[in-house]
Amino acid sequence: MSRRVVVLGGSGVLGSRVCQEFSAAGCSVLSVSRSGARAPWWSDDIDSTSIDLSDVDTRGLSQALAGADVVVNAAAVVWRTTEEAMRALHVEFVGRLVDVLAGRRSRLVQLGSSYEYGPAEFGVTTTEDDQRPPTSFYGLTKRQSTEVVRRAAREHRVDGVVLRVANVFGPGAGGDSLPGMVARWLAAGEEQLPLSPLTCWRDYVDVRDVVDAVLAAATAPAADVSGQVVNISGGAAMSVRELVHRLIALSGVPSRIVELASRTVLEPMPWQQLDISRARQLLGWRPVRNLDDSLADMLAAERQSVGRGATA
């Protein structure tokens, strides 16, 4: 796969891994992010540049995307931010992005979110055609960005596909997520885990499976995927309480869960399970990592991180 790939939000959890996998596949890769940071495990041939995507003008963006065969937009904000920042990055920036890509031969892979869906009844599997409105501002702005890409694709202005990604876990999946936060505490040997009430069921997907889906979306025929929204998830809901207990068991740390009042910035969603049949049909993709492997690898990555911090 000899292509020029630009990853927007390339320093993030998903973006950094997307950069590495495209590079491993033989692509020329440029990571674009506000910090311009490089992941320590990247190969030397991945380039990076610092651009504030929320504030970049069309000229600067056009220069960054010059010669790109594939553009992956993994840029997003959710934690410790404002509604204004979400609107700027998720909606206004994506509008500029499709304007810059209009008429180019670039494939745009937009990373959406399962929070673009509203709450479903217990036991219901959500398809990409579900119209329940999101209940968080994050979900609302991400859904608006999806519509920007879909509209531009329907008008044949861009060749774009949206991957609607579920809750991500696995190695390096980030301390802001519930599994990542718990794994970090367990890696540090914490014996008490202060958590919001563990009453929800969520659909989780390994970060490495998501990256596989991105690579598949980048190379799928335009006739199959342009203008499509595709769910990327494990395909099955799981009790978050069961997930935390499994992490504790795998860690070997005798930790106790202490449930506190909810403090999440996202509106509660008691149940979510996504239909992934479209991903199988259009991308030839399915998740291949099992739960215990994902959680064990997450714990191992967090232990390495804690160890590096102790010796720094």
SS3 203: strand
What's the token pair of residue 117?
């869906």
- Amino acid found at 302: E
Q: Tell me the longest C-alpha to C-alpha distance in the chain.
A: 58
Q: List, by residue number, the catalytic residues.
A: 138
| Residues 153, 159: Cα–Cα separation, whole Å | 6
Residues 6+ apart with CB under 8 A from 1: 22, 25, 26, 27, 219
Q: How many residues are given for the chain?
A: 312
What's the token pair of residue 294?
């994902």
**CB 101 within 8 Å of CB 94:** no
Query: In what helix (H) or strand (E) does residue 11 lie, and over which residues does it extend?
Result: none
- Amino acid found at 200: C
Count of Cβ atoms closer than 10 Å to residue 288 Cβ: 10
What's the token pair of residue 102?
């209009």
**CB 137 within 8 Å of CB 99:** no
| Residues 55, 284: Cα–Cα separation, whole Å | 36
List the one residue out of 90, 69, 87, 60 whose CA is nearest residue 7: 69
In DSSP terms, which residues pair with 256 in a beta bridge? Answer: 192
